[in-house]
Structure 1
Amino acid sequence: MADRVYLDWNATTPLRAEARAAIAAALDLVGNPSSIHAEGRAARGMVEQARAAVAAAIGAEARSVVFTSGGTEANTLALMPGLRIGSQPSEQLVNSAIEHASVLAGGRFAPEHIDTVRVTRDGVVDLDHLRSLLAGRPPALVSVMLANNETGALQPVTDIGGIVHAAGGVLHVDAVQAFGKITFNINDLGADLVSLSAHKIGGPKGVGALVLGSNLAGLAPLLRGGGQELGRRAGTENVAGIAGFGAAVAAAIPAMAADMSRIEKLRNRLETGLRQTQGSEGGIVIAESAPRLANTTLFAVPGLRAETAVIGFDLAGIAVSSGSACSSGKVRSSHVLEAMGFGPELAQSAIRISLGWSSSETDIDRCLQAWRKLAGNLTKRDHETELERF
């Protein structure tokens, strides 16, 4: 596997050395973080150190960080009726059409209390449509991701926060894909809840956080029992995972600006090469005209089967994806592209290539070399025979 090229960083990232060391140290601790003896206090110290690191990274208070099993649980915990900033609780959920599956599932809202806001052709939330959905109605909980996991498009969350709060509502921001790639502050965003995940920034899989704004009220736990996490999530904390999360944050945030500047240059070179390759006629970079994450390219060529191309790349030693990696390994038409107004042919042909801190010029060279072999060959008409050549 050493000769493989990993270009699926939006799905998950390699474990940082700092996170690995923190996990190992935590695994050597015997204490339960709820115990008051020395062993328990040592475990508690690791949890609280990580909590402070996560909070500081987005300008929140440490006591507002609720550790979870990941981004999906954080989103589900956030999506509940009754959340409020003022005196009137939210009764309706409004989410965008391009949200992660865990948000589209609606959390604890009944289906009849969920509305969907449109997005533009660039994959950006339609602010006028959002205003119309909120006008003249009881306060709503609005859930919008900061950066789309497939296209990398950044959402105008600060503007959205102003619209939501003017209507008396609450704003939840799924920042799982944005965290560690762009700088943001929970207060500047106008967010009342923010979801994060460790494995997108070099931490371990299976740990995340929901960060609460200082004025939020009404949150009820999904898991009840021992009263951990200040009564907001029961169950003994995953000390090793949380320690790894905190260490990954401490390593990632200071290096972020330099990493993303270098990565953006690699991405631009990649996109130029994809377009210039023979057989890429008609190919487009999705959401190219919108502000995007520096590391993300979603490239589509009409007639190309994404599933076949992903397999072809894999056989060439390169890991890419067809979009979200959260569908049990299945390759299916992108709901994000459909929401953006692209037809089924293009929605089924998009390849996502995402870079990270160790991505190199050599990785881009290998990716483009593989693409030159694949482009023009892998089509709906002949994809089965072409696969036999690899």
Structure 2
Amino acid sequence: MDRIYLDNAATTPLSACAAQAMAPYMQAGVQAPFGNANSLHGVGREAFSALEDARMRVSRALGASRPDEVVFTSGATEADNAALLGMALGQRERRRLKGRTGGHVVMSRVEHDAVLHCAAALKRLGFEVSFAENDAAGRVSPEALEAAMRDDTLLVSIMAVNNEVGTVMDTAALAAVAHKHDALFHVDAVQALGKIAFDVRALGVDAASFSAHKVGGPKGVGVLYLKTRTPFEPLLVGGGQERGLRSGTQNVAGIVGCAAAIEHAVREQAAFAQRTRAWRDELYERLCAHPSVHAAVEVARGDESFAPHIASVCVRGMESQTAILQLDMRGICVSGGSACSSNSLDPSHVLAAMGVPRNLAQGLLRVSFGEYTERAHIDAFISAFEEVVS
């Protein structure tokens, strides 16, 4: 039985360009480019050159002003944690030196757990955390963020594209609200990269988090964009790698693959969006024609205020886990929302924040497209879905 993979928002297959870029680093023996990028001898310098070339390529793809605004991490979770905690601490210290007190952080209720779970850590560090309200589509408006801001707000973190339902935020407008209050702005851009146009400089963000494995790169590699002169206290200390912002020997092989994947995803973004948006619209229409299906969000045909690669529906009378396993038995891979929360039996916190009733939210199914998705996969999924819910 051929396997059809429609869970690309969870992770993506390794792209050909990333595999090719990493291949020399996967060889055994001393002739391979295996060096520590922090060593002074030739093998180390070779690794350092590859590392810095990757940094340059990623910075260009993201629209950064300088290569040293790119910090390589172990993934988006680390990048999110580092941004929230490191920027909050750095901004608080900067304000303290100016005689200002207090430390208030704003986020949304529809964030990925990598951001939401930072709230408890921030509170332990003496910060106050509050949430900007979202609408029924999970969208935070500039007006809603304005209402959440205070005189002592020093950091705002709101994602660019929701990972469960695909809602696109107005990142530039939200960043402008934060800056009007002298607060920093961080965006979790994991589901935005390669899916919608995304340029860190044009959007005016202070920091952004990305993950290689969401765009055809290897797992275990992420990127934190950190704008020059942004206050920041590193979470990982030691050897002072990454300009002292993230200590630890760099994963050169993974970083080279990450750079190749990000370049490819950004280069192909417009074509990918056009192709997958049509599939998304068709999938919503065909699924929602079924009496047991309710769209998690109302997405009009061609609607660019939702990501092109995600379609999320709720199946009445069936729990997500049951539907996922039944589809898996038929060779179809989908998810019930964030893969990072897949072991939880609780309904999606995103749908809860959107006001979706619990009994409906328990039947969430997320279908997400990637580079290797084909048009025929939609027909196969619909056929299998009809068998499962009949």
User: Under a length normalisation based on structure 2, what TM-score does the superposition of the two structures give?
Assistant: 0.90
Counterpart selection for 1:286 from 279, 292, 297? 297
Per the TM alignment, residue 63 of structure 1 is displaced from its structure 2 partner at its CA by 0.5
Report the counterpart of residue 365 of structure 2 in structure 1: 351
State whether structure 2 residue 100 is matched by structure 1 residue 96.
no
Are the counterparts in 1 of residues 190 and 211 from structure 2 also a CA contact under 8 Å?
yes
Q: Equivalent residue for 2:201?
A: 187
Q: Which runs of 4+ in 1 moved over 4 A?
A: none
The match for 2:46 among 42, 49, 67 is: 42
Relative to 1, partners in 2 of residues 1:322 and 1:328: Cα closer, same or farther, differing over 3 Å? closer
Report what 1:388 is aligned to. Answer: none
In angstroms, what is the RMSD of aligned CA positions?
1.9
Residue matched to 1:141: 155
**Structure 1 residue 236: Cα displacement:** 0.5
Tell me, in whole angstroms, the C-alpha distance in 2 between the residues paired with 1:29 and 1:70: 23
Q: For residue 36 of structure 2, what is the aligned residue in structure 1?
A: 32
One-letter identity of the residue aligned with 2:104: Q
Matches within 5 A, 1:124-163: 124-135=139-150, 137-163=151-177
Q: For the structure 1 residues 294 and 253, does the alpha-carbon distance in structure 2 shift closer, same or farther, using more than 3 Å as the test?
A: same
In the aligned structure 2, how far is the partner of 1:103 from the partner of 1:145?
Answer: 9
How is 1:246-257 mapped onto 2 (pairs within 5 angstroms)? Answer: 246-257=259-270
Offset at 1:285?
4.2
Instruction: State the AA in 2 paired with 1:103.
Output: V
Q: Which residue of 1 aligns with 2:68?
A: 63
Question: Which string of whole-angstrom CA distances, capped at 9 and with x for unpartnered residues, describes residues 256-294 of structure 1?
Answer: 2112211111222212211223x43x5224252671110
CA distance in 1, matches of 2:335, 2:348: 12
Q: 2:29 — aligned with what?
A: none
Separation (CA, whole Å) in 2 of partners of 1:223 and 1:332: 33
**What letter corresponds to residue 155 of structure 1 in structure 2?**
M
Alpha-carbon distance in 2 for matches of 1:271, 1:149: 17
The answer for unaligned runs of 5 or more in structure 2 is: 27-31, 97-101
Instruction: Report the residue type matching 1:43 in the other structure.
Output: A
Aligned AA for 2:16?
A
Structure 1 residue corresponding to 2:135, chosen from 120, 136, 140: 120
State the partner residue of 2:217: 203
Deviation at 1:309, TM superposition (A): 0.9
Instruction: Measure, in 1, the Cα distance between the counterparts of 2:355 and 2:261.
Output: 37
- Report deviation, 1:337: 0.4
CA distance in 1 between partners of 2:89 and 2:247 (Å): 20
Contact 2:106 2:153 in 1 (8 A): no
Q: What is residue 81 of structure 2 aligned with on the other side?
A: 76
* Secondary structure, aligned partner of 2:45: helix
CA–CA separation in structure 2 for the residues paired with 1:316 and 1:17: 27
Deviation at 1:147, TM superposition (A): 0.3
Distance in 2 (CA, whole Å) between partners of 1:161 and 1:102 is 20
User: Aligned-pair distance for 1:230?
Assistant: 0.3
2:315 pairs with 274, 290, 301, which one?
A: 301
Deviations 1:295-325 (A, max 9, x none): 1001113323211111111111100000000
1:98-135 alpha-carbon deviations (Å, 9 max, x no partner):
00101011265116611111110011014333212213
Deviation at 1:85, TM superposition (A): 11
The equivalent residue for 2:191 is: 177
Report the alpha carbon displacement of residue 71 of structure 1 after superposing the two structures with TM: 0.3
Counterparts in 2 of 1:150 and 1:328: CA distance versus 1, 3 Å? closer
Q: What does 1:294-373 correspond to in 2, within 5 Å?
A: 294-327=308-341, 329-373=343-387
The residue aligned with 2:99 is: none
For 1:54 and 1:331, the matched residues in 2 are separated by: 38
The answer to whether the 8 A contact 1:26-1:43 is kept is no
- Residue 160 of structure 1 aligns to a residue whose secondary structure is helix
Distance, in Å, in 2 between the alignment partners of 1:330 and 1:174 is 22
Q: Which one-letter code corresponds to 1:361 in the other structure?
A: R
1:268 corresponds to which of 281, 291, 294? 281
Unpaired segments ≥5 residues, structure 1: 378-390
Specify the alignment match of 1:165 in structure 2: 179
Inter-partner Cα distance in structure 2 for 1:328 and 1:10: 13
By how many angstroms is 1:84 displaced? 3.7
